[in-house]
Structure 1
Amino acid sequence: METLFDDENTLMPHLERGMVSIANCGKHTNSTQFFITFQKASYLDGLNVVCGKVTEDTLHILSILEGIGVPSDGFYTRNNRVVIADCGEIHGSITKQDKCNTGTLR
C-alpha cells in the first residue's frame, strides 16, 4: 500500500500552464503521483499542493504531451503511453525574485 502524506500548503495557485502539483484523493491524501497543468486551473486551488513549475526552456515538451491526448476508451497502449524517466533534479539556489515571480513568497 502506498504511503499517504498530509497537505503541506495549498496556498500557491495553479495560475498558469506548467504548474506541477501533487495528486490526491482528498485532504491529507497526497501520494507520490504528480501532474502538470496544460492551462490555468483555478478549480484545483486549495485542493492540490503546487510543488513546482515546468521551466521556461522545457515548456515545449507540454505541447508534445498535449498532442498525444487521451484515448477515447481511456486505455493507454505501448504506442500512446508517456513515460518520464531519468528526469533528474535541478540543483542550485532559488532567489527571492524567483519566489516572488512564482507567488511562493508571502
Structure 2
Amino acid sequence: MFCRLKSTPPSLFSSLNCSFNPATRSFSSTSAAMSAITKAFFEIQYAPVGSSAPKTGRINFNLYEGDVPKTARNFRELCTKPEGEGYKGSGFHRIIPQFMLQGGDFTRHNGTGGRSIYGEKFPDENFKHKHTRPGLLSMANAGPNTNGSQFFITTVVTSWLDGKHVVFGEVADEASMQVVKEIEALGSSSGAVRSSVKPTIVNCGEE
C-alpha cells in the first residue's frame, strides 16, 4: 500500500503563517524547549541540479524521544541497521518542491514497502507536535495507525497534515537544511525525481 501525503493547492500556501525567512527559507530550531532529544544522521549521495557528478551531503536530526519515544526509537534504530534491514541503501522516492521529501521504503524502494522495528505497522503515537515550519521530520502513512518506516521532511509549513501524521523530529542545523534544499530542487510536482542519480542514503546512524 502506498504511503501518500496529501499536498495542498498552491493558493493555500499564501494563507499559512510561515515561521521562517521567505528569502532564505531558514528556520529556528525549537529543540531547546524539549526534553530527551536524541540524535541521528543521514549521509546522502545525490547530484545537485545542473550537475551529473554525485556528491555526499549530511543531514543531522534531533529526535523528540521525550515526547514520541516509540516513533523516535523506530527511526533511530532503523538508522543503525545494516543495508536491507534499515535506511542504509534506501533512497528518497518522492520529492515535491514547496512540500516535502519522502523516503524510508527500504524493502521495495517505491513507496509501497517498508516496515517498522515493531512489525509491519504500528499505531499513531500522538499528535503533540504540529507541521509548523520547514525542516520537520514526520511519519508517512497509508491512513490512521499505519506507520512503518517511511518518513518525510517538510520544506514548508504543512498544517493540513496536523492530526494525520506524527511529527517526531527536526533537521538539526542550517548546513543540514541546505542539503534538504538541494535535494528538494531535484523533485517535481508529481513527486518524480528529476535526476539520473537518485538521492540515496549511503550511511546513517545515531549519535
- TM-score category, normalised to shorter length: 0.7 to 0.9
Indicate yes or no: 2:176 matched with 1:51. Answer: no
Q: Which has the higher helix share?
A: 1
Task: Give the distance between the partners of 1:71 and 1:15, measured in 2 at CA.
Answer: 21
The ranges of structure 1 where at least 4 consecutive aligned residues each deviate by more than 2 angstroms after the TM superposition are 74-78
- Three-state SS of the structure 2 residue aligned to 1:70 is coil
Report the count of equivalent residues.
Answer: 89
TM-score, normalised on structure 1? 0.72
Partner of 1:98: none
Letter in 2 for 1:64: E
Task: Give the distance between the partners of 1:82 and 1:71, measured in 2 at CA.
Answer: 17
Matches within 5 A, 1:17-36: 17-36=134-153
Partner of 2:178: 60
Give how far 1:83 is off.
1.1
Task: Give the distance between the partners of 2:185 and 2:195, measured in 1 at CA.
Answer: 16
Gaps of 5+ in 1: 92-106
TM-score, normalised on structure 2? 0.39
CA RMSD, Structure 1 to Structure 2 (Å): 2.2
Letter in 2 for 1:29: T
Give how far 1:54 is off.
0.5
Kindly, what percent of the aligned residue pairs are identical? 37
Task: Give the distance between the partners of 1:40 and 1:77, measured in 2 at CA.
Answer: 23
Task: Give the distance between the partners of 2:126 and 2:204, measured in 1 at CA.
Answer: 25
Q: Which has the higher strand share?
A: 2
Matches within 5 A, 1:95-106: none
Partner of 2:11: none
Higher relative contact order (CA 8 A, sep 6+): 2
Task: Give the distance between the partners of 1:52 and 1:84, measured in 2 at CA.
Answer: 18
Deviations 1:11-46 (A, max 9, x none): 210111110011111111111111100111101100
Residues 130 and 167, structure 2, Cα contact 8 Å, conserved in 1: yes
Gaps of 5+ in 2: 1-112
Give how far 1:85 is off.
2.8
